[in-house]
Amino acid sequence: MAECHDTTATLPPPTSGRTRHVVAMVGPPNSGKSTLFNRLTGLHQKVANFPGVTVEHRMGRMRLDIGRDVFLIDLPGVYSLEPRTEDERVTHDVLKGQMKDLPRPDAVLLILDSTNLGRHLALAAPILSLGLPTMIVLNMADDLDRRGGKVDVVELANQLGTPVALISASHGTGLNKVIEFLSGATLGIKPKPPLLQLPVIQDVPKTRDWASNIGRRTQYRAPAPPIWTRRLDAIFLHPVMGPLVFLLVVIGVFQTIFTGARPLMDAVQDIIQTSGKWMGAALPDNALRSLVVDGIWSGVGSVVVFLPQILLLFLFIGILEDSGYLARAALIADRTMYRIGLQGKSFIPLLSAYACAVPAIMATRTIENKRDRIATILIAPFMTCSARLPVYTLVIAAFIPEKALLGPFFGTRAAALLGLYVLGFLAAVVTARLLKSTVLKSARAPFVLEMPPYRWPTLQSIGLRLLDRARVFLRRAGTVILGVAVVLWILSNLPLHDGKAPEIGHSIAGMIGHAVEPVIRPLGFNWKIGIGLITSLAAREVIVGTLGTIYGIEGTSQSVGLQAALRHDLTPGGAAALLVFFAFAMQCMSTIAVVRRETGGWRWPAIQFAYMTVFAYVFAFLTNQLISLFF
């Protein structure tokens, strides 16, 4: 009954309230607002950013039985309407009709947690004083009932002068009243003023008193404390077992995104290569084929390969977040993160960055403190992502002879790889400290973290989120990455010599390589590496394929021929410098694109790119000079 069953998946933009009705969904964090939104709109939703701010909101369409559509806007979770944080400002502006490109909502659904009504009802005061048709939706009715709480819904509606529904969004009960209201709201039912006069909005204690009074008048009985949450916390926040469970979760996440995703990624790679070959065979042998197969298909493919890893990571984060464990993990990690100037909520995003900085940066949305969030975004690309591995593997295999150090499992090569992981981590720590003591110095905003009761994650919420992440990622692969792939192909295939593509050394890319050689020679790199550095701007591992093309050898990191060619062209100092450069430089279009999206402009990605490039250059230079003294 709640889901719409028509097949149109595209969502037209909301027009003025005259033809399509816009209903805003408001509520405090952890009120189950998004679960209800998912219930009501199903697949008919999309994520959008408000212009000029980093706050995102979801919009969805719901078809009513009366044959009309309602657009639902899922606004960020807020505790009050006073516009202080960005989330609150967005909610405030939308509800007051001051948001650009968005009409004032025709009605409001205020979603509150019925198990914590005293505190949550305080938000009803500023919402009701807006004078918009409003329905109070009391969520978690099942929880309230099970834990022995109760509330007189009829009396609450009477007291507040608005319709009230007692629902369970996760079980889908009580929704018919909400749908009924949405049909009514479109007919323009105005609320009556509440029986108990609304308090002065700006004052928290007064508002809270007003809420208590309403609660008392409606015989609200708060439920007993959640027993299971207490029992689980006795384990998860136990002084000894807590950190152990935490460690297991971290290792589990790391292992899955690193090893578990491997077969899936290989499968995607296979599909891309096979289809590329198939296309190559089907198309006539000309420049167009080269562009499509070597340029676009393999270029976009090299990024799409990471999709399984990203989805697995978000599956984990989704489960951790919806179950309530993420808050506990943030609590446990807070002390350690605090030492480097960050906070507990930065931990999971930074851990994710070991797989890929792109989902990690998207995962920083759980950090409410803006400065902490930016700092986390800025240091995330220093974490050794999986795209660096092909480069590391190639160079290490070419220059470091394998010798056992600690038994058969830990040799010189593993040590070198571990060293590079440590190097990236140290750079992140140094940068975080630098940022937090200068430009991003927080005005000591207190770390406040609500511990929600543990809940079963719903398949729908997690599924929709994965779908959305996949869509965002693939859209970027189809736009930014596609563009870069085409440009790179053109650069390495022009100008034509006798109607044929030139040797790479004589292509535009080759010329650029020669042009940058004076700049990179102090690092021990020649023009061939220079081309690799430029093409790897698309994605780090692209340099391996590029070097393969330049040397005319199969471009994989296991290629013995490529290793030999590199040994011939690079000094040990240059090789070490190359590793250091890749550890620190922001060689990744996708990351730049996602930082721009998440920070709402080019300023931060530009600063980040410049900083990381200079950082990489300086340390690669020092490495080359230092190692050249000994070899």
Q: In angstroms, what is the minimal distance from the CB of 192 to another protein? A: 22
Determine the Cα–Cα distance for residues 165 and 325; give it in Å rounded to an integer.
Answer: 29
DSSP state letter for 521: G
Q: In angstroms, what is the minimal distance from the CB of 30 to another protein? A: 9
77 makes contact with another protein (CB under 8 A): no
128 makes contact with another protein (CB under 8 A): no
Determine the Cα–Cα distance for residues 47 and 557; give it in Å rounded to an integer.
Answer: 38
Q: In angstroms, what is the minimal distance from the CB of 364 to another protein? A: 19
Segments in 191-306 forming alpha helices (H): 204-217, 227-236, 241-255, 261-282, 287-289, 298-304
Structure-block tokens of residue 132: 């918009």
Determine the Cα–Cα distance for residues 203 and 53; give it in Å rounded to an integer.
Answer: 27
| Three-state secondary-structure class, residue 24 | strand
Polymer length in residues for the chain: 631
Rule CB under 8 A: which of 320-339 touch another protein?
327, 331-332, 334-335, 338
Out of 25, 122, 175, 534, the only residue in the binding site for another protein (CB under 8 A) is 122
Q: Which of 561, 271, 510, 566 is nearest to 392 (CA)?
A: 566
Q: In angstroms, what is the minimal distance from the CB of 138 to another protein? A: 14
Q: In angstroms, what is the minimal distance from the CB of 446 to another protein? A: 4
Q: In angstroms, what is the minimal distance from the CB of 210 to another protein? A: 10
> b/e map of 172-185 (b: 16 or more CB within 10 Å)?
bebbebbbebbeeb
Rule CB under 8 A: which of 3-32 touch another protein?
none
Asked if residues 86 and 118 have their Cβ atoms less than 8 Å apart, the reply is: no
242 makes contact with another protein (CB under 8 A): yes
Q: In angstroms, what is the minimal distance from the CB of 431 to another protein? A: 23
Determine the Cα–Cα distance for residues 554 and 546; give it in Å rounded to an integer.
Answer: 10
Rule CB under 8 A: which of 170-229 touch another protein?
204-205, 208-209, 212-213, 216, 222, 225
Structure-block tokens of residue 99: 């948001």
Asked if residues 215 and 117 have their Cβ atoms less than 8 Å apart, the reply is: yes
Question: Please, which residues bridge with residue 70 across strands?
Answer: 21, 62
Beta pairing, strands 45-49 & 56-63: antiparallel
Whichever of 30 and 623 has its CB closer to another protein, that residue is: 30
Determine the Cα–Cα distance for residues 69 and 62; give it in Å rounded to an integer.
Answer: 6
Determine the Cα–Cα distance for residues 515 and 523; give it in Å rounded to an integer.
Answer: 15
547 makes contact with another protein (CB under 8 A): no
Size of the site for another protein (CB under 8 A): 39
Determine the Cα–Cα distance for residues 312 and 318; give it in Å rounded to an integer.
Answer: 10
Determine the Cα–Cα distance for residues 98 and 104; give it in Å rounded to an integer.
Answer: 7
Structure-block tokens of residue 547: 């070097």
Q: Which stretch binds another protein (CB under 8 A): 41-49, 114-122, 309-317, 539-547?
A: 114-122
Q: In angstroms, what is the minimal distance from the CB of 97 to another protein? A: 24
118 makes contact with another protein (CB under 8 A): yes
Q: Which stretch binds another protein (CB under 8 A): 78-86, 92-100, 477-485, 583-591?
A: 78-86
Out of 299, 344, 424, 502, the only residue in the binding site for another protein (CB under 8 A) is 344
Whichever of 343 and 384 has its CB closer to another protein, that residue is: 343
Whichever of 144 and 374 has its CB closer to another protein, that residue is: 144
Q: In angstroms, what is the minimal distance from the CB of 235 to another protein? A: 10
Q: In angstroms, what is the minimal distance from the CB of 600 to another protein? A: 22
Residues in CB range of 5: below 8 A, 6 or more apart: none
Rule CB under 8 A: which of 395-454 touch another protein?
445-451
Structure-block tokens of residue 4: 């719409």
Which chain residues interact with another protein by CB under 8 A? 79-80, 82, 84, 115-116, 118-119, 122, 204-205, 208-209, 212-213, 216, 222, 225, 233-234, 237-239, 242-243, 327, 331-332, 334-335, 338, 344, 445-451
